[in-house]
């Protein structure tokens, strides 16, 4: 029997001659040998084919097993995936394009709102005249001729209106005019109108297409935090400011009343939480509606009438006698004087050729307390003489009065306090607030340092920060003594008009003549009142500054801060005290009001 | 053996094919549902935003002030000042219940009398200081 060769069978002849001969010799049928060989050959072929198909089947089986394993593994993986919000194009949930701005209580100051824009496709219009008529009927402020010119243009896309209300959209839709289309997009909305306008600033819309518009901050917090507000990573997370809308509204309302009563051309107010430097209210008049921010006036001469000018933060003014308390506080801190030390107030006084005199003659001498209470320039200048220019400058610097304010507003960086070269004359005038210009915000931060026991204050607008007390610039007992002097000013000094029954308020008035043509203008004053309250546990600082105000009282026109700014501040304090959780203390009454046996 | 194995395998393949097809249909339905839900969420979110805006607009200080002025005749609302903060003594508490019938008579009928009743004011704090039930801190 022929062995089956593993590598291709050797070709065996069907009728091998030797076997045929042998078969013939033995009388066997040689055909059987042939049949045998044919059968053998078939068997060989079958074996080969079987092995081949066996290999193929194994391969197919392996491939299918691998495929099923792959699918099974993937299914197992999907089944065990942690449940998560499906992502991808199917789940683009309308994320507000720009974060909201809230006040400290969560009230909305600025938010994004969906709106509709109206555009025209002039080439698709069948009845441009009819469409123009219909649109003018719906929007009376549109100009029919301008619309017709727009509709005559050879284009497929022209803006008609950047935002429509839902009712207006329906009205346009109901006209049935062809070639008018709507786009959905977002707009910035300031629900409170002009309240806190300067702080918020404003936005500008850059229309990209029918469905997309980019909103840019142009001023205030909107500009300062533009990148944060427009970062999609912050969508849904509002920017919480330290402002309190209720206090802001009251401050603005009263300030507006004060401006009307005194005929001021402008006014500013800052309300600050003294321990933290958080700004609770920041107002500037005249104001504007941030929903429709006017274009700032570029002419510096007209800056005073520009509604977008933020007087509280940008307005660099001589704030007058409000500075006297810094001179006295420093002298107390350096142990140069005590509150009852007598100071020579005989005027006029001459410093290096310059004459310094008082508003009234206060006699030969006053105690340090009374220098503040009566607001004696001569007395303060004498105290400044004890301190010396270098130490005075360093102290005002340490209060933050000589550098730009760190408040988070672009406007704050544009205002730099100005002080001239610091000689003996300047030292004397700066001691009572002349020859140095700062903003009301700077003054508020400096008064906050007195109110909080002598720690330097960094004003801020952003809530939720940790506040470490700043470096000590005054000893706590000196700060308390200065606060007590300020209380006496309101009690029986120049700021009696700021008094509110039941509350202990400390403050200092300051009246400075505005620089006019060739020197100071006598009839144009900046009247400022800076206050600390409640004096028994100082917590808040309020600065009110009125520009060119006057009041006709008792037959005379009064322009001093005691008449122009102090009453406004007093009214603000009267209104905000209960909201700040301050209760009036009634002299002589048992605070609890409970009858005790 | 073959009689069981082959039909079984075929049935298995058919079954798996049906299952896979069904899964794919269900996936398609689920995707459509997700799309619809997302559309709904978008719509609801946008109306939520609109309502928030409307609420903020209706509550703007200027409008509330005007409303208070307009309805002064009915409401008589004035800006809040320190004078509006009351004292505990001004709260008219009812007279204590007459338990033994002897003390209550002494006070007689008339206006409610203010009295220090620790339990009514601030139970938690008053248990700590029963001798001096109301102090400034209670305000």
pLDDT tens-digit readout, A480-517: 999 999 999 998 888 888 888 888 999 999 988 877 66
- Asked if the model's pLDDT at residue A345 lies above 90, the reply is no
Give pLDDT, residue A550: 84
A260 pLDDT band, cuts 50/70/90, is: very high
Give pLDDT, residue A143: 85
Same domain, A328 and A382: yes
Residue A311 lies in a domain: yes
- Asked if the model's pLDDT at residue B24 lies above 70, the reply is yes
Q: A90–B35: do the CB atoms touch at under 8 Å?
A: yes
Question: Quick one: which of A547, A420, A535, A517 has its CA closest to A479?
Answer: A535
Higher pLDDT, A115 or B131: A115
Higher pLDDT, A10 or A366: A366
Residue A178 lies in a domain: yes
- Asked if the model's pLDDT at residue A89 lies above 60, the reply is no
What is the DSSP pairing of strand A239-240 with strand A101-102?
A: parallel
Residue of chain A minimizing CA distance to B47: A114
Render B42-79 in DSSP notation, one character per residue: HHHHHHHHHHHHHHHHHT-HHHHHHHHHHTHHHH----
Pick the most confident of A67-81, A472-486, B111-125.
A472-486
B136 pLDDT band, cuts 50/70/90, is: very low
Same domain, A180 and A280: no
Residue A83 lies in a domain: no
Same domain, A214 and A255: no
Q: B56–A592: do the CB atoms touch at under 8 Å?
A: no
| Maximum Cα interatomic distance, chain A, rounded to a whole number of Å | 169
- Asked if the model's pLDDT at residue A135 lies above 50, the reply is yes
Residues in a beta bridge with A557:
A552
Question: Quick one: which of A470, A477, A110, A434 has its CA closest to A329?
Answer: A477
Residue A449 lies in a domain: yes
Give pLDDT, residue A240: 93
Q: Compute the average pLDDT of residues A22-38.
A: 86
Q: Compute the average pLDDT of residues A356-381.
A: 86
Residue A10 lies in a domain: no
- Which contacts qualify for A209-213: CB closer than 8 Å, 24 or more apart? A209/A183, A210/A117, A210/A119, A210/A157, A210/A181, A210/A182, A210/A183, A210/A185, A211/A183, A211/A184, A211/A185, A212/A185, A213/A117, A213/A162, A213/A185, A213/A186, A213/A187
How large is the ipTM? 0.71
Smallest CA–CA distance, residue B52 to chain A, in Å, is: 9
Give pLDDT, residue A241: 93
- Residue partners of A303: CB distance under 8 A and separation at least 6: A297, A309
Q: What percent of chain A has pLDDT over 90?
A: 34
Which range among A207-221, A286-300, A570-584, B5-19 shows the weakest confidence by mean pLDDT? A207-221
| Maximum Cα interatomic distance, chain B, rounded to a whole number of Å | 110
Between B38, B81, B135, which is nearest A93 by CB? B38
Residue A60 lies in a domain: no
- Asked if the model's pLDDT at residue A251 lies above 70, the reply is yes
**Test mutation, A188, A594, A596, A597, chain B, max B CBs within 10 A:** A594
Q: Compute the average pLDDT of residues A566-580.
A: 92
What CATH number corresponds to the domain at position A317? 3.40.710.10
Domain count, chain A: 3
What is the DSSP pairing of strand A180-189 with strand A266-273?
A: unpaired
A424 pLDDT band, cuts 50/70/90, is: confident
Q: pLDDT of A379-400, one tens digit each?
A: 999 999 899 888 999 999 999 8
Torsion angles phi and psi, residue A324, rounded to 5: -60, -35
C-alpha A405/C-alpha A385 separation (Å) is 28
Which range among A318-332, A560-574, B44-58, B83-97 shows the weakest confidence by mean pLDDT? B83-97
Same domain, A185 and A303: no
C-alpha A237/C-alpha A235 separation (Å) is 5
Between A192, A584, A594, which is nearest B61 by CB? A192
Q: B82–A90: do the CB atoms touch at under 8 Å?
A: no
Angle between helices A128-138 and A166-174 (to 10 degrees): 150
Same domain, A275 and A419: yes
Same domain, A211 and A259: no
Give pLDDT, residue B134: 43
C-alpha A201/C-alpha A196 separation (Å) is 9
CB A120 within 8 A of CB A142: no
- Please state, in angstroms and as integers, the Cα–Cα distance from residue A218 to each residue in A247, A293, A410, A576, following that order: 25, 9, 10, 31
Same domain, A282 and A226: no
HEC sequence for A429-482: HHHCCCCCEECHHHHHHHHHHHHCCCECCCCECECCCCCCCCCECCCHHHHHHH
Same domain, A220 and A292: no
Per-residue burial over A462-501, b = 16 or more CB atoms within 10 Å of its CB, e = otherwise: bbeeeeeebeebbeeebbebbbbbbbbbbbebbbebbbbe
Which range among A81-95, A159-173, A189-203, A525-539 shows the weakest confidence by mean pLDDT? A81-95
C-alpha A4/C-alpha A113 separation (Å) is 89
Average pLDDT, chain A: 85
Q: B82–A502: do the CB atoms touch at under 8 Å?
A: yes
Residue A84 lies in a domain: no
- Please state, in angstroms and as integers, the Cα–Cα distance from residue A166 to each residue in A171, A395, B46, B60, following that order: 9, 59, 13, 21
What is the phi-psi region of residue A232: left when phi exceeds 0, alpha when psi lies from -120 to 50, beta otherwise? alpha
Residue A73 lies in a domain: no
Same domain, A195 and A334: no
Structure tokens at A432: 């009572």
Give pLDDT, residue A82: 67
Same domain, A211 and A261: no
Query: What torsion, rounded to 10 degrees, do the Cα atoms A357, A361, A366, A372 define?
Result: -60
What CATH number corresponds to the domain at position A151? 3.90.1310.10
Q: Which domain holds residue A146?
A: 110-240
A567 pLDDT band, cuts 50/70/90, is: very high
Q: Compute the average pLDDT of residues A110-139.
A: 85
Q: B82–A593: do the CB atoms touch at under 8 Å?
A: no
B94 pLDDT band, cuts 50/70/90, is: confident
DSSP label at residue A105: T
Task: Count the alpha carbons within 13 Å of A10 in the hemisphere toward its beta carbon.
Answer: 7
Give pLDDT, residue A52: 95
Final residue before a domain boundary, out of A240, A273, A307: A240
- Tell me the residues of B at the A interface, defined by beta carbons under 8 Å apart: 31, 34-35, 38, 41-42, 45-46, 49-50, 52-53, 56-57, 59-62, 65, 79-85, 87-90, 114-116, 133-136, 138-139
Give pLDDT, residue B135: 43
What is the DSSP pairing of strand A108-120 with strand A180-189?
A: antiparallel
Residue of chain A minimizing CA distance to B116: A594
Smallest CA–CA distance, residue A322 to chain B, in Å, is: 27
Q: pLDDT of A425-484, one tens digit each?
A: 888 888 888 888 899 999 999 999 999 999 999 999 998 888 888 899 999 999 999 999
Same domain, A199 and A305: no
CB B57 within 8 A of CB A109: no
Same domain, A227 and A300: no
Q: A108–B52: do the CB atoms touch at under 8 Å?
A: yes
Give pLDDT, residue A361: 78
Per-residue burial over B2-32, b = 16 or more CB atoms within 10 Å of its CB, e = otherwise: eeeeeeeeeeeeeeeeeeeeeeeeeeeeeee
Per-residue burial over B78-101, b = 16 or more CB atoms within 10 Å of its CB, e = otherwise: eebbbeeeebbbeeeeeeeeeeee
Which range among A71-85, A172-186, A269-283 shows the weakest confidence by mean pLDDT? A71-85
Give pLDDT, residue B104: 45
Q: pLDDT of B33-73, one tens digit each?
A: 999 999 999 889 888 888 999 999 999 999 999 999 999 99
User: Coil, helix or strand for A257?
Assistant: helix
B-chain CB neighbours of A596 within 8 Å are 116
Cis link prior to A198 (omega < 30° from 0)? no
C-alpha A490/C-alpha A509 separation (Å) is 9
C-alpha A565/C-alpha A498 separation (Å) is 8
C-alpha A425/C-alpha A536 separation (Å) is 36
Helical (H) or strand (E) element with A77 = helix A30-79
Average pLDDT, chain B: 76
Structure tokens at A161: 């209106």
- Tell me the residues of A at the B interface, defined by beta carbons under 8 Å apart: 86, 90-94, 96, 107-108, 111-114, 189, 191-193, 195, 245-246, 249-250, 253, 500-503, 574-575, 577-579, 582-584, 591-596
Smallest CA–CA distance, residue B135 to chain A, in Å, is: 6
Q: A91–B38: do the CB atoms touch at under 8 Å?
A: yes
Q: Compute the average pLDDT of residues A178-201.
A: 87
Q: Compute the average pLDDT of residues A158-168.
A: 81
Between A90, A245, A578, which is nearest B61 by CB? A245
Question: Quick one: which of A277, A282, A278 has its CA closest to A252?
Answer: A282
């Amino acid at each position: 029997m022929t062995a089956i060769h593993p590598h291709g069978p050797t070709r065996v002849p069907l009728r091998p001659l030797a076997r045929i001969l042998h078969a013939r010799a033995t009388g066997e049928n040689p055909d059987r040998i042939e049949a045998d060989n044919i059968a053998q050959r078939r068997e060989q072929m079958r074996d080969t084919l079987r092995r081949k198909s066996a290999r193929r089947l194994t391969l197919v089986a392996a491939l299918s097993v691998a495929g099923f394993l792959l699918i099974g593994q993937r299914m197992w993986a999907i089944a065990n995936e942690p449940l998560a919000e499906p992502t991808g194009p199917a789940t683009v949930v309308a994320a507000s394009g720009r974060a909201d701005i809230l006040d400290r209580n969560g009230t909305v100051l600025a938010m994004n709102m969906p709106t509709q824009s109206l555009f025209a496709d002039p080439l698709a219009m069948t009845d441009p005249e009819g469409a123009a008529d219909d649109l003018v009927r719906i929007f009376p402020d549109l100009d029919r001729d301008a619309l017709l010119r727009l509709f005559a243009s050879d284009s497929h896309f022209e803006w008609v209106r950047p935002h429509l209300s839902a009712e207006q959209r329906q009205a346009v839709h109901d006209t049935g005019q062809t070639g008018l289309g709507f786009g959905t997009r977002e707009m910035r909305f300031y629900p409170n109108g002009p309240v806190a306008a300067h702080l918020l600033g404003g936005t500008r819309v850059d229309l990209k297409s029918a469905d997309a518009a980019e909103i840019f901050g142009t001023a205030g917090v909107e500009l300062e935090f533009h990148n944060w507000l427009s970062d999609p990573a912050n969508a849904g997370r509002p920017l919480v400011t330290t402002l309190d809308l209720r206090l802001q509204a009251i401050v603005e309302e009263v300030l507006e009343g004060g401006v009307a009563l005194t005929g001021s051309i402008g006014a500013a107010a800052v309300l600050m939480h003294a321990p933290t430097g958080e700004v609770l209210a920041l107002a500037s008049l005249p104001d504007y509606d941030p929903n429709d921010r006017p274009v700032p006036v570029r002419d510096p001469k007209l800056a005073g009438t520009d509604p977008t000018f933020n007087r509280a933060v940008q307005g660099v003014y001589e704030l007058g006698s409000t500075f006297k308390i810094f001179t006295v506080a420093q002298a107390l801190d350096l142990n140069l004087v005590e509150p009852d030390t007598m100071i020579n107030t005989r005027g006029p006084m001459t410093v290096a050729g310059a004459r310094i005199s008082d508003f009234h003659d206060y006699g030969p001498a006053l105690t340090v307390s009374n220098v503040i209470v009566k607001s004696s320039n001569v007395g303060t200048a004498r105290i400044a003489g004890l301190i010396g220019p270098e130490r005075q400058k360093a102290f005002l610097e340490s209060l933050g009065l000589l550098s730009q304010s760190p408040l988070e507003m672009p406007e704050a960086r544009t205002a730099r306090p100005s002080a001239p070269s610091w000689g003996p004359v300047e030292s004397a005038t700066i001691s009572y607030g002349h020859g140095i210009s700062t903003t009301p915000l700077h003054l508020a931060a400096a008064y906050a340092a007195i109110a909080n026991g002598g720690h330097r204050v960094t004003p801020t607008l952003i809530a939720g920060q940790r506040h470490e007390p700043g470096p000590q610039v005054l000893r706590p007992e000196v700060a308390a003594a200065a606060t007590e002097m300020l209380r006496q000013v309101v009690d029986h000094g120049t700021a009696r008009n700021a008094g509110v029954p039941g509350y202990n308020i400390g403050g200092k008035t300051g009246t400075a003549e505005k620089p006019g043509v060739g020197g100071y203008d006598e009839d144009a004053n900046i009247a400022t009142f800076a206050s600390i309250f409640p004096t028994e546990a100082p917590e808040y600082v309020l600065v009110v500054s009125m520009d060119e105000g006057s009041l006709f009282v008792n037959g005379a026109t009064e322009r001093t801060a005691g008449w122009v700014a102090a009453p406004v501040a007093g009214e603000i304090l009267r209104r905000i005290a209960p909201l700040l959780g301050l209760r009036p203390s009634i002299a002589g009454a048992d605070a609890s009001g409970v009858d005790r046996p | 053996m073959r009689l069981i194995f082959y039909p079984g395998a075929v049935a298995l393949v058919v079954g798996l094919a049906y299952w896979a097809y069904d899964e794919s249909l269900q996936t398609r339905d689920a995707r459509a549902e997700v799309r619809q839900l997302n559309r709904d969420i978008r719509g609801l979110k946008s109306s939520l935003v609109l309502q928030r805006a409307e609420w903020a607009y209706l509550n703007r200080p200027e409008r509330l002030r005007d409303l208070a002025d307009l309805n002064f005749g009915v409401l008589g609302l004035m800006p809040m000042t320190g004078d509006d903060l009351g004292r505990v003594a001004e709260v008219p508490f009812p007279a204590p219940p007459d338990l033994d019938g002897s003390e209550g008579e002494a006070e007689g009928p008339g206006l409610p009398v203010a009295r220090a009743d620790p339990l009514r004011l601030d139970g938690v704090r008053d248990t700590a200081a029963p001798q001096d039930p109301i102090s400034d801190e209670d305000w």
